[in-house]
Amino acid sequence: MKRLTFVSLLLLLGCENTQTPCTPPAAAVPQSLYHDVAALTAPPMMGRRTGTNGAMLAADYLAERFGAMAVTPWSGQLRHPFEYGPSFLAKSGENLVAWVPGPPPYRLVVAHYDHLGRVNGKVHPGADDNASGVAVLLALAERASQSSPSQGLIFAAVDAEENGLHGSQALARQLASVPLEWVLNLDMVGRPPRDNRAQLWWRQDWPEGSQALATVSGALCVEAGRRRMKGQDGVRYDTLDASDHYPFHRAGVNWLYLGVPPHKDYHTPRDQAGRLDYQFMAGILEGSWALLSQP
Ligand SMILES: [Zn+2]
């Protein structure tokens, strides 16, 4: 270890003090979190790049998972194909949407299931990005299906996030005339930072957004997310348009976005199932459920 001067030692102690790790409330970890992440990151899924066989296998898996629950397919079907891009070069993707009926306005949870596929010959399994969010979404849908919610709850696993938020754009268009109280986006919820705190962002002109932070805090170590974050490449990016809440923001819908700061394995072949913190994900599940189940 490098020798520390008295001043640098004081500085170091000061830093540690501001980053005191948070101890979350105890939460049971459902086995489904392990199973779903393992399935979505398995070799046949090939990193779930939109339009590939791997992404289709992932959609099949999600249809099977939703199909085994007491949830209702949205508009009579679980699978909602969409097209995106210029018409002469149109590409296709597929969202999976189910709900637990209840009175409006509805609450919507979204998590993207696509990832980068194979890059430079190497499969990027995308365990944190975003098998983690999808696994939590499925656990929420399962729990919701066994309850009678005070409002209708919609669950959407969306495609084509990585190449431009196309799945959530298609979903926002599809739900344009549906009364939504808010949408919760779960994107990268499996790798807590050193202080163990998740980050929650919300629509800034929505007064009740800060109350959501208090609600989630009862079940999870969490802090208000910073608008500008530094990516793994050191370049700052804007969290507003970084993920699937953005098409809803543009449509005027209130939104919440729960995630973690970028980490060194982000968008690399090392984003693997064995590197996730499932206890932390159980906290995300409980915090999200606190939001979904509040009167
Ligand atoms: Zn990503």
116 CA distance to ligand 1 centroid (A)?
7
267 CA distance to ligand 1 centroid (A)?
6
Query: Is there a domain that residue 254 lies in?
Result: yes
Bond into 24 cis (ω within 30): no
In the prediction, which pLDDT does 277 show? 97
β-pair partners for 158? 112
Give me the torsion for CA of 136, 122, 60, 105, rounded to 10°.
40
Q: Is the pLDDT of residue 8 over 60?
A: no
Residue range(s) defining the domain that contains residue 162 = 32-293
Domain count across the chain? 1
Query: Is there a domain that residue 169 lies in?
Result: yes
Query: Is there a domain that residue 10 lies in?
Result: no
Distance CA 153, CA 141 (A): 8
Distance CA 62, CA 4 (A): 53
User: Measured between alpha carbons, how far apart are the two ends of the chain, in Å?
Assistant: 54
Tokens of 84: 């995106």
Give me the torsion for CA of 62, 65, 70, 75, rounded to 10°.
20
Query: Is there a domain that residue 1 lies in?
Result: no
Indicate the pTM of the whole model.
0.92
Distance CA 257, CA 238 (A): 13
Distance CA 48, CA 265 (A): 17
112 CA distance to ligand 1 centroid (A)?
9
Tell me the pLDDT tens digit for each residue of 184-201: 999 999 999 999 999 999
Query: Is there a domain that residue 4 lies in?
Result: no
Burial class (CB in 10 A: 0-12, 13-18, 19+), 271: buried
Q: Which residue type sits at 70? A: A
Tell me the pLDDT tens digit for each residue of 153-167: 999 999 999 999 999
115 CA distance to ligand 1 centroid (A)?
6
Evaluate whether 60 touches 67 at the Cβ level (below 8 Å): no
Tokens of 177: 């005339």
119 CA distance to ligand 1 centroid (A)?
13
Q: What is the CATH number of the domain that holds 160?
A: 3.40.630.10
Query: Is there a domain that residue 86 lies in?
Result: yes
Q: Reduced to 3 states, what is the DSSP secondary structure of residue 94?
A: strand
Which of 3-17, 40-54, 207-221 is most confident? Answer: 40-54
β-pair partners for 182? 107
187 CA distance to ligand 1 centroid (A)?
8
What is the average pLDDT across 125-132?
Answer: 98
Residue 80 binned pLDDT confidence (cut-offs 50, 70, 90):
very high
Tell me the pLDDT tens digit for each residue of 28-52: 999 999 999 999 999 999 999 999 9
Query: Is there a domain that residue 82 lies in?
Result: yes
129 CA distance to ligand 1 centroid (A)?
5
Query: Is there a domain that residue 24 lies in?
Result: no
Closest CA to 222 of 250, 189, 270: 189
Q: Is the pLDDT of residue 216 over 70?
A: yes
Helix axes 31-40 and 133-145, enclosed angle (nearest 10): 130
